[in-house]
Amino acid sequence: MKKASLLITALFSTAAMLAENIPVSEKPMIEQKFFEEQYSLYRAHFSKNAPAKVDPAPQMEKEFQFQGLKVQVLSYQVEADERIRGYLVFPEKMTPGEKRPLVLCLHGTSLYGKDAPLGYLAAYAPAKNKTEENKRINRMQALHLAQRGFICFLPDRAGYGVRRPPEYKNITHNAAKAQNAYIKEHAKNHPGWDYRRGKVIHDLQQALDFLVKMPEIDGEKIGVIGHSLGGTDSAELAAADKRIKAAVVSCGGGITFRPELWNDPAALKEAVKKFLIMPEERNLTFQAIIPRGIFLLVGVTDKYSPQSMMHSTRIFRDCYLARMSRKEFEKRQPFVAMLHSAGHDMPEYVRDAMYRWLEMQLMSPR
Domain boundaries, the chain: 2-362
For the stretch 240-294, pLDDT in tens is 999 999 999 999 887 888 999 999 999 999 999 988 888 899 999 999 999 999 9
What is the pLDDT confidence band of residue 184, given thresholds at 50, 70 and 90? very high
What is the pLDDT confidence band of residue 366, given thresholds at 50, 70 and 90? low
Q: Are 288 and 39 in contact (CB under 8 A)?
A: yes
Could you give phi then psi for residue 365, rounded to 5 degrees?
Answer: -65, 145
Please give the pLDDT value at position 306.
63
CA 39 to chain centre: 19
Please give the pLDDT value at position 13.
44
Q: Is the pTM of this model over 0.85?
A: yes
Cα–Cα dist 12/17, whole Å: 10
What is the pLDDT confidence band of residue 307, given thresholds at 50, 70 and 90? low
Closest CA to 247 of 293, 311, 192: 293
Cα–Cα dist 100/63, whole Å: 19
Please give the pLDDT value at position 206.
98
The sign of the torsion formed by the CA atoms of 278, 26, 327, 310 equals positive
Taking residue 95's Cβ as centre, other Cβ atoms within 10 Å add up to: 5
Please give the pLDDT value at position 4.
45
Q: Are 172 and 123 in contact (CB under 8 A)?
A: no
User: What class is the 2-362 domain?
Assistant: alpha beta
